Amino acid sequence: MSNQNDPLFQPHHLGELALPNRILMSPLTRSRSSQPGDIPNDMNARYYQQRASAGLILSEATQVSPQGKGYAFTPGIHSQEQIEGWKKVTGAVHMAGGRIHMQLWHVGRISHPDLQPNGEKPVAPSAIKPEGAKTFISADSGMVDIPEPRALETAEMTDIVEQYRQGALNAKEAGFDGVEVHAANGYLLDQFIKSGSNHRTDEYGGSVENRLRLPLMVVEAVIDVWGKDKVGVRVSPTGSFNAMDDDNPAETFGTFARHLNDLGIAYIEVVEDSFQGNHANGRPEEVIDAIRAGFKGTYIANGAYTADEARKRIDEGRCDLVTFGRPFIANPDLPERFRQNAPLNDWDDSTFYGGDEHGYTDYPTLIELEKSA
């Protein structure tokens, strides 16, 4: 297939941003920020710069506040030092001709008092312990159980919205091209959206409209900072990671999609399987249909895609763009490998979280492999 006809190499406009290809880099937690302070560093900048040929990079999930932190060594966007660190990243990506959005993150209940300000309980829509969910609180802790969280008071919702608004402002100062609101994978906004984790009886729980209230308030606040064409949202309608479930994902996320369409955001990124690549039941086509029916902006698909499946589903109109995670970890030049149908480096999952350059910035490109041959 010539590149002229290859669906992966057709340009695409995401708001004002012109993407040269449809091969996007997923948001990927790598837990390598500098301590103390969860500050992005030169090694992080090099990692992102190596992957700047992506149509768009979505940054690793980045906590909008100290309360929003759920794992050791993940970066934040709530201090001036973090903003300065992220400037290194965005500058390096832009210098290499790339584009990058920041993913704004609050983990909600997926945290631990050892990671929280003053050792407080993590917060959530409801005081429901996520059974089986784990985190790591230090380099030596291993995976630890997550305790029962504290239910947020109704009066605290405005502060949650403010945390995201300030994070969006800080991301702008740090030089990003836009932002993605993380409403997936069992973190705070997903906890509000899904019926299994939201048992509230006030205006933020119960009906679908009530469960969507806080996430939509957050998206509106972020739009106020960035403008609607530079904002996206990530969702995982059928994801069970972090002990999540919803009574009717097609209705819930179809409704969310309609509201997001009314707000005019640039894109929805949909995790089309359970986080971590569970394809036992295939892709949830009924839910995808409901989201596509409600949302007329750009649809970004995610979930253990191969290049060929991405081509096929773009061709069939099932998605517009595709995010790739683990293949981008191991292949900094992933678009070029897809262009040439070249073999891919294997990833080493033992180096996904934490550590140094090994398994981070030392995966070779095709050109480097040719030179060493």
Nearest to 144 by CA among 123, 119, 113: 113
The DSSP symbol for 5 reads T
Is 363 in the active site?
A: no
Query: What are the strands, taking DSSP E only, across the chain?
Result: 12-14, 17-19, 23-25, 57-63, 100-105, 123-124, 134-135, 144-145, 150-151, 178-183, 231-235, 267-271, 298-302, 321-324
Rounded to 10 deg, the angle between the 208-226 and 157-173 helix axes is 30
How many other CB atoms sit within 10 Å of the CB of residue 299? 21
Cβ neighbours of residue 319 closer than 8 Å, sequence gap 6 or more = 299, 300, 301, 310, 313
Q: Which two tokens stand for residue 328?
A: 């981008």
Task: Exactly one of 47, 164, 187, 267 is catalytic; name it.
Answer: 187
Q: How far, in Å, CA of 116 to CA of 66, rounded? A: 7
Query: Which residues partner with 145 through β-bridges?
Result: 134
The C-alpha angle 299, 300, 305, rounded to 5 degrees, equals 135
Cβ neighbours of residue 274 closer than 8 Å, sequence gap 6 or more = 236, 238, 239, 240, 241
Q: How far, in Å, CA of 318 to CA of 305, rounded? A: 13
Q: Does residue 25 sit in helix, strand or coil?
A: strand
On whether the CB atoms of residues 77 and 174 are closer than 8 A, the answer is yes
Helices (H), 194-333: 208-226, 249-263, 285-294, 307-315, 326-330
Q: What residues are labeled active site? A: 187
